[in-house]
Amino acid sequence: MGAQFFFSPALWHCESYGNLHSASAACVASAMILFLPSVFNLIIPITRGLIRNQRARRMIMFYDVIFALLMLFAGSSVLRNWLRANPYIFIGYWAGCAWLTLLAVLLALFDLVAVRATWRKEKRRLEAEYFDEPKENPPHGENPPRTRAD
């Protein structure tokens, strides 16, 4: 059943096409290369939707900062000795923490720009609504309101 997932004419040359567990690394790599564009075609619209929604963007920022702070605390106290014993894991761990911090900063800057753009758009709309539309009650000299005596 799992081998049907990798069905592609590019994999027909693989000897072990029917058995995914015994497939060679080249066959699996070529299947993943064929699979990645469809994954990116799914990830990009999801990311756009999350970024454009202000509430979702701020929730991502909140949890991102919380997770980065937890990583900072754990890396500097609980995992300190283990990270120092493994230099590659140390570099990867702190690179991940830096990446999360950079993500939070970039999302915050994007949120700042988006809020300012929304504010400018709303300001223009209100100015146009207030200054450009004719008023419902014209001055008395043009068309005075009727009284009961008329």
Query: What tokens were used for 110?
Result: 């994007």
Confidence at residue 26, expressed as pLDDT on a 0 to 100 scale = 67
pLDDT averaged over the chain? 81
Taking Cα atoms as reference points, which of 118, 116, 114, 119 lies closest to residue 51?
114
102: region left, alpha or beta (phi > 0 left; psi from -120 to 50 alpha) = alpha
* Contact partners, residue 126, CB within 8 Å, separation at least 6: none
pLDDT tens, residue by residue, 97-138: 999 999 999 999 999 999 999 999 999 999 988 887 665 665
* Eight-class DSSP state of 115: H
Confidence of residue 147 (pLDDT cuts 50, 70, 90): low
Average the pLDDT over 27-38 and give the result: 73
Question: Which is more confident, 128 or 39?
Answer: 128
Its pTM surpasses 0.85: no
Q: Is 135 helix (H, G, I), strand (E, B) or coil?
A: coil
